[in-house]
């Protein structure tokens, strides 16, 4: 079993729809969770971090964490073609970011105009 | 924020040779890291580049294969030694600044 699992996709949504990206992790002691966006041929960039159960909203992005189910998700509202990218879920056993992240394989999102 | 540059951006190498990748950060950072992203795979941490001391390697990675230098707070190098086709990958430098992790553009390595 991989430590961090994501459906590789591609996930295809129409412009303006809500895109839902999911991630599960195997290590129960994990405390910090991150979503990165990676455009093709570019480096990953941080979108959201979440440390506590529940929802965290930032603009069109909402991260959701359920530690009991070992599940973290990212919702993108009003999806735009510019959101088309690979979204990487990353987990850290420590609180905050120590730099030692465990990444999932990434989900490719395609937003169609 | 931190801006990270890497050299070279890509290279094609023959098996048995070595390649050194350079990473430059535009800010002084305490923590620098090297990750690998193999085709269709997730990013995997190779090692933490410690300033003034030996790098700390993750399971499955050894110093003889991936020697790392960190001479100051803004610069690090990763050498991929005695390369084989299995080393073909994207190598990314990363830096942690104020709890945000930044990544370089990556070095695309193809070993023939």
pLDDT tens for residues B50-108?
888 889 999 999 999 999 999 999 999 999 999 999 999 999 999 998 888 999 999 99
CA B59, CA A62: separation in Å to the nearest integer? 34
Give A43→chain B minimum CA distance, Å.
Answer: 5
Q: Using a pLDDT cut of 90, give the percent of chain B over it.
A: 83
Closest of A102, A86, A87 to residue A31, by C-alpha: A102
Chain B residue numbers with beta carbons less than 8 Å from the beta carbon of A45 are: 103
**Given the structure tokens 């809500």, which residue do they identify?**
A18
DSSP B13: E
- pLDDT value of residue A101: 92
A42: which 2 tokens? 């570019």
B45/A contact by beta carbon, under 8 A: yes
pLDDT category at A94 given cuts 50, 70, 90 is: confident
A44/B contact by beta carbon, under 8 A: yes
Distance spanning both ends of chain A, measured CA to CA: 36
- Each residue's pLDDT tens digit, A6-42: 988 899 999 999 999 999 999 988 889 999 999 988 8
CA A55, CA A72: separation in Å to the nearest integer? 10
Judged by CB atoms closer than 8 Å, whether chains meet at B96 and A97 is answered as yes
């Amino acid at each position: 079993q991989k430590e961090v699992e994501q459906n590789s996709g591609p996930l295809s949504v129409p412009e303006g729809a809500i895109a839902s990206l999911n991630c599960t992790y195997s290590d129960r002691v994990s405390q910090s969770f991150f979503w990165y966006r990676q455009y093709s041929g570019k480096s990953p960039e941080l979108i959201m971090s979440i440390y506590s159960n529940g929802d965290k909203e930032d603009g069109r992005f909402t991260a959701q964490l359920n530690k009991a189910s070992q599940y973290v998700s990212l919702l993108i509202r009003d999806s735009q073609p510019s959101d088309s990218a690979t979204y990487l879920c990353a987990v850290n056993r420590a609180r905050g970011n120590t730099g030692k992240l465990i990444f999932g394989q990434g989900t490719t999102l395609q937003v169609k105009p | 924020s931190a801006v990270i540059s890497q050299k070279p951006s890509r290279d094609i190498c023959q098996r048995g040779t070595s390649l050194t990748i350079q990473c430059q950060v535009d800010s002084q950072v305490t923590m620098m890291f090297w990750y690998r992203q193999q085709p269709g795979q997730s990013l995997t941490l190779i090692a933490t580049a410690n300033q003034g001391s030996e790098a700390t390697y993750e399971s499955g990675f050894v110093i003889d294969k991936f020697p790392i230098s960190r001479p100051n707070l803004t610069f690090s190098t990763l050498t991929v030694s005695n390369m084989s086709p299995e080393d073909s990958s994207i190598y990314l430098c990363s830096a942690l600044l104020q709890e945000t992790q930044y990544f370089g553009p990556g070095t695309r390595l193809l070993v023939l």
